Structure 1
Amino acid sequence: MPVANPLADLIAEKGVLLADGATGTNLFAMGLEAGDAPELWNEDQPEKIRKLHRDFVDAGSDIILTNSFGGTRHRLKLHHAQDRVFDLNKRAAEIAREIADAAPRKVIVAGSVGPTGELLIPLGALSYEAAVEAFVEQMEGLKAGGADVAWIETMSSGDEIKAACEAANKVGMPYTYTASFDTAGKTMMGIHPKDIHGLEGDVSEKPVAVGANCGVGASDILSSLLDMTAAKPGAAIIVKGNCGIPEFRGSEIYYSGTPPLMAEYARLAVDAGATIIGGCCGTACDHLKAMREAIDTHKKGEKPSLEAIVEKVGPFRNKTAGTGEDTPQRERRGGRRKG
């Protein structure tokens, strides 16, 4: 029996969807301390998580991500909470579900699933089977809490993406996955944007969408988007880029993006073929409101050139990831936790 797929249904209805903004950045603004686990706030500070989701919905988001990015046992053990995986993830989904159900329009609850933080064999000690097991444990909680889709994100390893996709199939959830192309235009483990398709492997249910999130800035994620759409025209692609370029000011990270810049990013993303557009680190509700208006009022145009991207949202910070015939040509120029 096919898995119910509200996300695919909403894509079919609306064409282009707006995802939400930064979880970590906004929770830090609400008082989360560096080094604390945001997931514990699902039980300790649920009213703040509700407010974050509600603010994202009010700003126009079609998709809200649960506060569960670090919700595997491997992440939670750093906070002595590895025995609370199911409950914390279930609570994360329940809070988001409550806000989505109260919204005046259809809002998708996406169960955020980040990397385990462990390296898989042979580079590390985590077996593929153990990774699948950890993701299953997390996704069972998210599904029980009412998440519509497993939102696998900020990945760098193809094996870990495959393990998370296998887990989603085992749990019976539709899913998406995104990687972070933040190392010379590739992921830390060497995945090129054009190779993002098909990393789920031989599973019965394929992803609703794949794509990129986080990274180093709007220009670079748009360049990755051109690679991804060229590799598989017509595929549903996610871009959830950081709000401008992250810069240290003293001990604090500051993001340079303004609402007008993020609106321009959203228009360029539509032109470049994105299906789901959102913001990652640094993206607040003012940025999302500008992106919502941009998506609603923009008529899709020609795919932008790399020169047009630089002109409108600033220079690339990644070095070129490749210059093959199947890769958009770039100038050779130089220049975690999901926020």
Structure 2
Amino acid sequence: MTTCTTKGFQQRLKDGDDIIVAEGYLFEFERRGLLKAGAFVPEVVLENPNLVRELHEEFVRAGSDVVLAFTYYGHREKLRVIGREQDLEALNINALKIAREVANNTNTLMAGNISNSTIYERNNQDSIEKTEAMFKEQIEWAVQEKADFIVAETFSEYGEALLALQCIQKYGNGLPSVVTMSPKTSSLTFDGVPFSAACKKLEDAGASVVGLNCGRGPATMMPLLREIRQACKGPIAAVPVPYRTTDKEPNFQALTDPDTGKQDFPLDLPAHTCSRSQIRQWAEEVKQLGVQYVGLCCGNASHYLREVAEVYGRKPAASKYAPDMTQHFVFGNRANNKAYYTESLKMYITTK
């Protein structure tokens, strides 16, 4: 197998290239019945590795420049909760090897991945040390398996995000970093820092890319992204969830069923999914804003990512099968079938 010959991550950033990244593996595998909602641990890496490889390839066909190793929530604490801590190293190494293989075969970048620890407590030294130890082992495995950069994501506290960055710098053998925070209903981190200020602090501390991922949908992430773009000089990241969050319910975990008022996270979120047109419009907005590192998080699917890639000027392999309604037997209004079209259209779009 040949080594990846694509332009390096840092060089792309320096040259002003846009980088498209597919996330959302947890939710996609849960939809497919291969991952348990609630625990959200990537056991599929051990149990169905070929399907992980296929989803990586699917996202690359849709336009992703990055194969993100599926180690999100594959850390020691999450595996301890489900009684599989003994499988920690195997899960991480397998995920990284699969991602490296796909990246090599598709001439894309491969990223290691660490995430919120679920045990971090500010001002608790024991918690901080345990969190650092968890970050350390995942980062060192990513270095071992030749990741091109490390993604540290979904932090709601600035302190934990900074710790993740410091761990990448300490244990990452010089690898560049993308550090993204996850906004909930407030415009402040859990430790009281405006997200724009938190991102600026992370940029100043040496992160290659800073920004937001998960939590908010396109509509409610945009105001924070505008603030971050003003605060930060370097590349920023935008990786929202593709759900119709609102000012009243700005985070996808806050979305409720309009009929019952019950929380829809995580099982009934499909009632709130964005349209492809909304994703395309959002991609146009962030491109104009100057977002250089762009993608979609929980709820992502390849048809959404293709919209983002095409807005960013790409023509990925999946664009061969982009919709063309001129070919539809009814809605295409083909000249050689106009009479049939006219009658059929009435039947489709009217109730009379």
Which category of TM-score, normalised to the shorter sequence, fits these structures? 0.7 to 0.9
Q: Which secondary structure state, in structure 2, belongs to the residue aligned with residue 190 of structure 1?
A: coil
The letter of the residue matching 2:116 is: P
Task: Give the match for residue 319 of structure 1.
Answer: none
Contact kept, 8 Å, 2:203 with 2:234, in 1: the verdict is no
Residues 127-166 of structure 1: matches in 2 within 5 Å? Answer: 127-166=127-166
1:197 is paired with a residue whose SS is helix
Instruction: Report the Cα distance in structure 1 between the residues aligned to 2:277 and 2:11, rounded to whole angstroms.
Output: 30
* Post-superposition offset of 1:196: 2.5
Conservation of the 8 A alpha-carbon contact between 1:114 and 1:155: yes
Q: Residues 85 and 141 of structure 1 are in contact (CA less than 8 Å); yes or no, is this contact kept in structure 2?
A: no
**Residue range with higher mean Cα deviation, 273-282 or 80-89:** 80-89
Which residue in the other structure is 1:49 paired with?
A: 52
Structure 1 residues 202, 269: closer, same or farther in 2, change over 3 A? closer
Please report how far the alpha carbon of residue 162 of structure 1 lies from its aligned counterpart in structure 2 after TM superposition.
1.8
For 1:25, the aligned partner's letter is F
Equivalent residue number for residue 234 of structure 2: 235
SS for the counterpart of 2:199 is coil
Is the Cα–Cα contact under 8 Å of residues 132 and 166 in structure 1 kept in the other structure? no
Q: Could you tell me which residue of structure 2 aligns to residue 220 of structure 1? A: 220
Over the residues paired in the alignment, what is the CA RMSD in angstroms?
2.3
Aligned length: 287
Distance in 2 (CA, whole Å) between partners of 1:85 and 1:275 is: 33
Identity across the alignment (%): 23
Distance 1:190 1:23, change over 3 A: farther
| AA aligned opposite 1:182 | K
Task: State how far apart, in whole Å, the 2-side matches of 1:11 and 1:218 are.
Answer: 23
Pair 1:87–1:145, CA change in 2 (3 A): farther
Q: State which of 257, 273, 276 in structure 2 corresponds to 1:256.
A: 273
SS in 1 for 2:151: strand
CA contact (8 A) 1:119 1:125 kept: no
1:262/1:56 Cα in 2 relative to 1: closer, same or farther (>3 Å)? same
1:61 to partner: Cα distance = 0.6
Q: CA 1:70 to 1:195, structure 2 compared with 1: closer, same or farther past 3 Å? A: same
Please give the secondary structure, in 2, of the residue aligned with 1:212. strand
Cα gap change, 1:215/1:121 in structure 2, threshold over 3 Å: closer, same or farther?
A: closer
Contact 2:69–2:111 (8 Å) recurs in 1:
yes
**Contact kept in structure 1, 2:65 and 2:109, CA below 8 Å:** yes
Rounded to whole Å, the distance in 2 between the matches of 1:39 and 1:212 is 22
- Give 5+ residue unaligned stretches, structure 2: 1-6, 245-251, 258-263, 315-352
The match for 1:289 is 306
In structure 2, C-alpha distance between the alignment counterparts of 1:36 and 1:121, rounded to whole Å: 24
User: Which amino acid in 2 is paired with 1:119?
Assistant: Y
Pick closer, same or farther for the CA change 1:73–1:33 going to 2, 3 Å: closer
Matched-pair contact (CA < 8 Å) for 1:21–1:288: no
Once the two structures are superposed, what CA deviation does each residue of 1:6-29 show, in whole Å capped at 9, x if it has no partner? 321233446211111411221112
Residue equivalent to 1:170: 170
By how many angstroms is 1:36 displaced? 4.7
Aligned to 2:195: 193
The one-letter amino acid paired with 2:176 is: P
Q: Secondary structure at the match of 2:179?
A: strand
| Distance of 1:189 and 1:83 partners within structure 2 | 33
SS at match of 1:196: helix
Match of 1:279 in 2: 296
Cα distance in 2 between the residues matched to 1:74 and 1:267: 38
Q: Distance in 2 between matches of 1:126 and 1:266?
A: 42
Secondary structure of 2:185's aligned partner:
coil
CA contact (8 A) 1:110 1:147 kept: yes
Letter in 1 for 2:44: W
2:213 maps to amino acid: N
Q: 1:58-95: CA deviations, max 9, x gaps?
A: 00111232111112212221122334333321211111
Q: Deviations over 1:18-61 (max 9, x none)?
A: 11141122111221232455422212110111111111000011
Deviation at 1:137, TM superposition (A): 0.9
1:173-200, Cα deviation, whole Å (9 max, x unpaired): 3211000111222333433121123544
Q: TM-score, normalised by structure 1?
A: 0.78
Residues 117-175 of structure 1: per-residue CA shift (max 9 Å, x gap): 013243x5743233222200111122222321110000011221122112111221321
Structure that is richer in helix per residue? 2
Match of 1:17 in 2: 19
Question: Which sections of structure 1, spanning at least 5 residues, go unmatched?
Answer: 298-339
